[in-house]
């Protein structure tokens, strides 16, 4: 007499194997995704030459915010502090600063991200690849160098605000961390193309 249980056992093993193969990547992604969400970034006071940092009132929140008047030949360093509040190491990758690349039309441009010059000729966004591991509880300082763009136009009295992102990776997960507290850029007579 042949025992009928081996086919059932094989089916159970096959079902368990498929479930394991399906759930393992999902669990790894979930753990990695949670780690990337435990990273924060904030900007300190800008250090500028050729302009004086001031404040403006945000019309929505009614709170005072740092602002950089775009005077002729100004140069500022904006230091971004990235903190890993989680329990896993994450990797910082691409940094993107919208509308501040070589091909943008604003009166400011990001010339360096970290120690690396922003490359490209006609890209609207400033983009730089970094590869930096951030241990649990650790922080990393990342400098953005911002300078006056003579060919740009920003009307006098207008303000511009950008929200850079840093790609944060862990295992299978990736998350774009938004830096929401960058100073505003204020149009001046030097930045205006109005006639």
The pLDDT of residue 2 is: 57
Quote the pLDDT of residue 11: 67
- DSSP letters, 152-192, are ----TT-EE----EEEEEETTEEEEEE-TTPPEEE--TTT-
- Residue 24: pLDDT above 70? no
Distance separating alpha carbons of residues 147 and 102, to the nearest angstrom: 11
Query: Sign of torsion, CA 146 151 155 161?
Result: negative
Structural domains of the chain in order of their starting residue, each with its CATH number: 32-186 (2.60.40.290)
What pLDDT, on the 0 to 100 scale, is given for residue 164? 94
Residue 193's pLDDT band, with cuts at 50, 70 and 90, is confident
Which neighbouring-strand residues pair with 178? 165
* Number of DSSP helices (H) and strands (E) in the chain, helices first: 1, 15
How confident is the model at residue 75, as a pLDDT? Answer: 97
Q: Quick one: average pLDDT of 164-168?
A: 93
- C-alpha to C-alpha distance for 64 and 67, rounded to whole angstroms: 9
pLDDT digit string (tens) for 101-136? 999 998 999 999 988 888 777 889 999 998 899 999
What DSSP character marks residue 118? P
Q: What is the pLDDT of residue 17?
A: 64
| Range with the largest mean pLDDT of 9-18, 67-76, 85-94, 98-107 | 67-76
**Which residues are CB-contacts of 20 (< 8 A; sequence separation ≥ 6)?**
none
Q: What is the pTM of this model?
A: 0.80
Looking at residue 131, its pLDDT comes to 87
19 has pLDDT over 90: no
pLDDT grade, residue 61 (50/70/90)? confident
């Amino acid at each position: 007499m042949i025992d009928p249980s081996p086919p059932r056992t094989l089916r159970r093993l096959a079902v368990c194997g498929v479930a394991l193969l399906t759930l393992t990547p999902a669990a790894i992604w979930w753990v990695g995704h949670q780690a990337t969400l435990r990273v924060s970034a904030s900007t300190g006071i800008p250090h500028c030459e050729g302009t004086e940092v001031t404040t403006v009132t945000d019309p929505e929140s009614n709170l005072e915010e740092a602002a950089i008047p775009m005077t002729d030949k100004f140069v500022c360093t904006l230091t971004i502090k990235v903190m890993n509040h989680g329990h896993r190491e994450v990797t910082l990758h691409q940094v993107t600063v919208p509308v501040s690349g070589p091909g943008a039309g604003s009166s400011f441009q990001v010339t360096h991200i970290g120690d690396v010059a922003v490359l490209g000729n006609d890209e609207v966004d400033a983009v730089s690849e970094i590869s930096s591991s951030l241990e649990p509880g650790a922080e990393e300082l990342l400098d953005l160098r911002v300078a006056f763009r003579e060919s740009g136009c920003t009307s006098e009295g207008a303000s511009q605000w950008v929200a850079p992102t840093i790609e944060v990776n862990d295992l299978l997960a990736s998350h774009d961390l938004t830096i929401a507290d960058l100073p505003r850029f204020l149009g001046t007579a030097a930045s205006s193309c109005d006639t």
